[in-house]
């Protein structure tokens, strides 16, 4: 990345490090401001300042806070400009020079609705105008700022971590093989492709309406069909065909990998993964892996679950609330009885056959993803499910890298959590009464979950050994 255009600013900040936090906020603000963010080289400048922050001027958490606050303010100002001037802002300089951007932004917003605020933050061609368009089209302020805050929490790490790590690497020697990094990227891309393929297969193998009617006539008198079918009116498939199919696939994979596959194969795989990930055992990266690992502690899982259950109960999604509470509570019983209330990442669980950390995390985060994805169009479901899988994948990588669990136990817990998630999706079908819509309260909930997770990590990180 060419930093020559902003080098004088970086030189000044290097001499006055006390201004680095404020400068990150200002650059993030300008980068998120309508039109201005395209004219000013905000990404380059933010990368350069993050490099300075990584040399020890700021902690990683402080860098996130400054960047996130600037992004929220920048989009907020753009929103209120659009809300105040409405269509007349198109005739005001400098906005009058870019009519095509507004046309594309309005078209994108009308197509994707409120979620375009989150998508637009990461998509270059529409990024400079989406918040302003949201204000012009009178998007409710509460919903806008809920999405704005949630997306800013994701935007800040994406745009600052690369520079921060570069700066930190100048202070500590890191020798991470390029092949390892590409391998990790390949793993995450492979999971994304697999998620997409499974979603496509689910859609392809759904029966036609006439075929489903024939299945209904054939099996509707059976007790299992009557018990599992949904009571919600106006649904295309009252019987949970897709969840049953995914339950069969995930359970078959788990049985094939961990019952039929020889233990010697997994022993070899554990040793190979341990050697491969050894370069990541570095003082700079350890706090990051520990912070991610904390997302799988049963205390954090319990807090997130209770928040989710409370929200669903208040929104009258009582069946979903009941299934989520029972599933997480039941999955927590075995590790708590085995390890007691002190179950945490301060203990090593390398001898476990199934990692309860990856099991609980995949069970919870996958359920949240399926809860949201179930009501969305088929073409959107796969990436929602993938986003739901990401925390569990990162937890798996972190725990294995920290040598807290073996690779086989982490993967076993991850897959078993997905099996239980599919089972929960089947179990919730007869209790399903109302569709879950993408309302403002849902985005506020997601923002609250992110805040709870961040606060828990902040409190617990210093106590993790």
DSSP per residue, 79-133 = HHHHHHHGGGGGGSTTGGG-HHHHHHHHHHHHHHGGGHHHHHTT-TTTTTTHHHH
C-alpha of 298 from chain center: 19
User: In whole angstroms, what is the distance from residue 118 CA to residue 127 CA?
Assistant: 10
DSSP state of 208: P
pLDDT digit string, tens, across residues 309-320 = 998 898 888 888
User: In whole angstroms, what is the distance from residue 249 CA to residue 419 CA?
Assistant: 9
Q: Is 113 left (phi over 0), alpha (psi -120 to 50) or beta?
A: left
Q: For the chain, report the end-to-end CA distance as a whole number of angstroms.
A: 36
* Mean pLDDT computed over 166-188: 65
Average pLDDT, the chain: 79
Which residue in 305, 320, 301, 317 sits closest to 439, CA to CA?
317
User: In whole angstroms, what is the distance from residue 231 CA to residue 105 CA?
Assistant: 40
Residue for token digits 């199934």?
354
Contact 195, 382 (CB under 8 A): yes
pLDDT digit string, tens, across residues 101-117 = 778 788 888 877 777 78
* Mean pLDDT computed over 164-185: 64
Given this model, what pLDDT does residue 233 score?
62
Instruction: Kindly indicate the confidence band of residue 461, based on its pLDDT and cuts at 50, 70 and 90.
Output: low
Has residue 346 got a pLDDT over 60?
no
Q: Determine whether 169 is exposed, middle or buried from the number of CB atoms within 10 Å of its CB (0-12, 13-18, 19+).
A: middle
Contact 312, 306 (CB under 8 A): no
Residue for token digits 């993938």?
386
pTM assigned to the model:
0.71
User: In whole angstroms, what is the distance from residue 267 CA to residue 270 CA?
Assistant: 5
Instruction: Kindly indicate the confidence band of residue 341, based on its pLDDT and cuts at 50, 70 and 90.
Output: very low
Instruction: Kindly indicate the confidence band of residue 84, based on its pLDDT and cuts at 50, 70 and 90.
Output: confident
Alpha carbon separation from 335 to 263, 300, 352, 407, 456 (Å, rounded):
23, 15, 10, 18, 21
Phi, psi (rounded to 5 degrees) for 402: -80, 0
User: In whole angstroms, what is the distance from residue 391 CA to residue 152 CA?
Assistant: 18
Given this model, what pLDDT does residue 351 score?
59
Contact 21, 66 (CB under 8 A): yes
Contact 309, 319 (CB under 8 A): no
Given this model, what pLDDT does residue 343 score?
43
User: In whole angstroms, what is the distance from residue 40 CA to residue 295 CA?
Assistant: 37
Which range has the top average pLDDT, 92-96, 123-127, 338-342, 425-429?
425-429
Residue for token digits 């891309």?
189
Given this model, what pLDDT does residue 330 score?
86
User: In whole angstroms, what is the distance from residue 49 CA to residue 177 CA?
Assistant: 26
Instruction: Kindly indicate the confidence band of residue 336, based on its pLDDT and cuts at 50, 70 and 90.
Output: low
Has residue 178 got a pLDDT over 60?
no
* Mean pLDDT computed over 240-257: 86
Torsional sign, CA 8, 14, 16, 21: positive
Has residue 393 got a pLDDT over 60?
yes
Residue 325 or 35, more confident: 325
Contact 322, 382 (CB under 8 A): no
Given this model, what pLDDT does residue 465 score?
44
Angle formed by the axes of helices 42-52 and 7-15, to 10°? 30
Phi, psi (rounded to 5 degrees) for 163: -65, -40
Torsional sign, CA 42, 112, 373, 322: positive
| Cβ neighbours around 115 below 10 Å, total | 15
pLDDT digit string, tens, across residues 179-230 = 656 666 777 777 778 777 777 776 676 666 677 777 777 777 788 777 888 7
Find the Cα–Cα–Cα–Cα dihedral 249, 254, 260, 265, rounded to 10°: 130
pLDDT digit string, tens, across residues 358-388 = 999 999 999 988 888 877 776 777 777 888 8
């Amino acid at each position: 990345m060419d930093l020559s255009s902003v080098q004088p600013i970086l030189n000044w900040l290097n001499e006055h490090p006390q201004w680095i936090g404020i400068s990150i906020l200002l650059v993030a603000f300008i980068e998120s401001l309508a039109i201005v963010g395209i004219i000013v080289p905000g990404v380059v400048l933010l990368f350069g300042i993050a490099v300075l922050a990584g040399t020890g001027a700021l902690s990683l958490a402080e860098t996130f806070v400054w960047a996130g606050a600037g992004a929220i303010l920048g989009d907020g100002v753009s929103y209120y400009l659009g809300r105040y001037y409405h269509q007349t802002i198109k005739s005001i300089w400098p906005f009058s020079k870019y009519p095509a951007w507004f046309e594309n932004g309005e078209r994108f917003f009308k197509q994707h609705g409120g979620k375009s605020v989150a998508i637009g933050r990461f998509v270059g061609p529409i990024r400079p105008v989406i918040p302003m368009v949201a204000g012009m089209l009178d998007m409710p302020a509460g919903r806008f700022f809920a999405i704005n805050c949630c997306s800013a929490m994701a935007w800040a790490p994406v745009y600052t971590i690369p520079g921060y790590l570069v700066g930190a690497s100048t202070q500590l020697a890191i020798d991470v093989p390029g092949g390892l990094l590409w391998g990790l990227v390949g793993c995450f891309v492979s999971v994304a492709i697999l998620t997409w393929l499974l979603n496509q297969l689910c859609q392809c193998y759904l029966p036609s309406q006439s075929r489903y009617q024939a299945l209904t006539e054939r099996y509707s008198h059976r007790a299992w069909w009557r018990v599992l079918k949904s009571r919600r009116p106006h649904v295309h498939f009252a019987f949970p065909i897709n969840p049953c199919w995914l339950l069969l696939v995930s359970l078959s994979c788990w049985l094939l990998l961990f019952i039929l596959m020889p233990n010697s194969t997994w022993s070899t795989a554990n040793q190979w993964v341990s050697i491969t990930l050894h370069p990541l055992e570095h003082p700079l990266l350890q706090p990051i892996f520990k912070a991610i690992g904390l997302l799988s502690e049963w205390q954090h899982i319990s807090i997130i679950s209770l928040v989710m259950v409370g929200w669903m109960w208040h929104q009258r999604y009582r069946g979903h609330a009941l299934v989520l509470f029972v599933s997480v509570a039941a999955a927590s019983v075995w590790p708590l009885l085995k390890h007691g209330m002190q179950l945490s990442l301060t203990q090593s669980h390398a001898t476990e056959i199934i990692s309860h950390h990856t099991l609980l995390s995949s069970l919870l985060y996958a359920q949240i993803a399926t809860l949201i994805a179930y009501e969305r169009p088929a073409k959107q479901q796969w990436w929602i499910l993938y986003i739901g899988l990401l925390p569990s994948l990162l937890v798996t990588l972190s725990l294995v890298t920290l040598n807290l669990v073996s690779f086989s136990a982490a993967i076993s817990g991850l897959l078993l959590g997905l099996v239980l998630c599919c089972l929960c999706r089947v179990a919730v079908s007869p209790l399903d009464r109302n569709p879950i819509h993408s309302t403002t309260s849902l985005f506020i909930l997601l923002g609250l979950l992110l805040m709870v997770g961040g606060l828990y990590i902040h409190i617990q990180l210093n106590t993790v050994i």
